Amino acid sequence: MELWQQMIRDSIHTVDQLVEKFNIDRKVAEELDEFFQARINPYYLSLIRYPGDPIWLQCVPDVKELEDLDGYEDPLLEDAMSPVPNITHRYPDRVLFLTTSQCGMYCRFCTRKRKVGNSDKISMRQLESAFKYLEEHTEVRDVIMSGGDPLMLTDTMLEKIIKRIRQIPHIEIIRIGTKMPCVLPHRITPKLVEMLKKYHPIYINTHFNHPWEITPESAKACQMLVDAGFPVNNQAVLMKGVNDDPQVLKELFLKLLKIRVRPYYLFMADETRGANHFRTSLDKGLEIMFALRGNISGLAIPHFVIDAPGGGGKIPVLPDYILHRDEEKIVMRNYQNKIYVYREAKNEENKIEVEISGNDNGKLPKPKKLKKSAKAVVSEYEIT
């Protein structure tokens, strides 16, 4: 048995352990266990510095989960977009391939808690229908392996799946969505890396939410992956009490760059049942993104997105940098809140007709004009 597997076995997961270790009322612990089981491996447990800290909030069950009656079991409608078991096909050229129900640590904000931890919901027995779907749908060029966490599989089982995907001619890219570099970096072994190298191009999407999660162990895991030629991207979630502070996220993103992990996405928290206490306002997210832009390298700034409820996909959100726009000029503010005017180009490009869903005349709608004129907007600020 490898070290990482032993650490999974040694994880906190029973009601008795929750009561003893975290002083949770037994009745509450039983209800939480029924709602969404816990798994906190010894490594991630060691990152907790004090009760209620950002690490604790992500992994220790909380009675607030039971008080959330407004969230959705499947906020992104993944199940409705699942043509066969284990496959979600939302975008034209890529699919989500669920390979296992198990994770190295069960995040309390998990958007897939309806399935995670339940081998009946994400079953290895149904992989053949998933492979057949991929073979038949030649428009698919990109497969994102997820779960659960694909790296919870043994090297042998993981290779069987990847090798089978690589045999499909029209599939160009394989992505592995894994939180292991963050929650159990011991899983990233030389043997695993050597196996994965045979099936390039493979991209790794990992998931750090707080700078305390970047440790010598997690840095080494990411180094092994990057040195072996795997681009590693990070997908963080904005969460109240965890990282809803520009200084915290600035530290996280800069530390990620230092270990050669690119900040890729920052998500607004999904409307998942049991996770409402993690959600922030959109204004809070926009405030943080505005505080980051210009103050740290563009390399360190992720796309800020909302994964639209109802399966609408990822929608990028930006602070309001455009204050006014008309046919002659664009009035903008920069990261210092200083105002600048950019003269609009006068050419035929502004008149190109395009098809827009819900717009019967097929023309690009004209920019909305503010009540104030550009001159009035500019006069409120000192033009640099």
pLDDT truncated to tens, each residue of the chain (384 aa)? 899 999 999 999 999 999 999 999 999 999 999 999 999 999 999 999 999 999 999 999 999 999 998 899 999 999 999 999 999 999 999 999 999 999 999 999 999 999 998 887 788 778 999 999 999 999 999 999 999 999 999 999 999 999 999 999 999 999 999 999 999 999 999 999 999 999 999 999 999 999 999 999 999 999 999 999 999 999 999 999 999 999 999 999 999 999 999 999 999 999 999 999 999 999 999 999 999 999 999 999 999 999 988 888 999 999 999 999 998 999 999 999 999 999 998 866 554 444 444 444 444 455 454 455 555 555 555 444
110 is catalytic: yes
In angstroms, the CA 182 to CA 66 distance is: 27
pLDDT at position 126 is 81
282: Cβ–Cβ under 8 A, 6 or more apart, which residues? 268, 306, 317
Catalytic residue among 222, 255, 270, 273: 270
Closest C-alpha to 12, from 84, 106, 143, 132: 106
Identify the active-site residue in 33, 53, 68, 90.
Answer: 90
Q: Any idea where the domains of the chain sit in the sequence?
A: 79-316, 322-379
pLDDT for residue 380 = 58
- Determine if residue 59 is labeled as part of a ligand binding site: no
Q: Which of 94, 164, 284, 329 is catalytic?
A: 94
Q: Is 166 a catalytic residue?
A: no
For the chain, first and last CA: distance in Å?
65
Q: What percent of the chain has pLDDT over 70?
A: 90
Catalytic residue among 112, 113, 115, 250: 112
Active site residue 112: yes
Q: What is the pLDDT of residues 66-76, one digit of tens each?
A: 999 889 999 99
Q: Which residue in the list 59, 74, 103, 106 is annotated as catalytic?
A: 103
Known active-site residue 90: yes
Query: Looking at residue 123, what is its pLDDT?
Result: 81
Q: Which of 314, 329, 333, 372 is the catalytic position?
A: 314
What's the confidence (pLDDT) of residue 353? 44
Among 59, 107, 182, 222, the one annotated catalytic: 107
Give 332's DSSP letter. E
Catalytic residue flag (residue 103): yes
* pLDDT at residue 372, as a whole number: 55
Annotated binding residue 107: yes
List helix spans (H) across 2-137. Answer: 3-9, 15-22, 26-35, 42-45, 54-59, 127-136
pLDDT digits (tens, 9 = 90+) for 298-345: 999 999 999 988 888 999 999 999 999 998 999 999 999 999 999 998
Tokens of 143: 């497969």
Instruction: Name the active-site residue from 59, 106, 108, 110.
Output: 110
Quick one: pLDDT at residue 57? Answer: 98
Q: What class does CATH assign to 79-316?
A: alpha beta
CA 300 to chain centre: 16
SS3 track for 219-288: HHHHHHHHHCCCCEEEEEEECCCCCCCHHHHHHHHHHHHHCCCEEEEEEECCCECCCHHHCCCHHHHHHH
Annotated binding residue at 103? yes
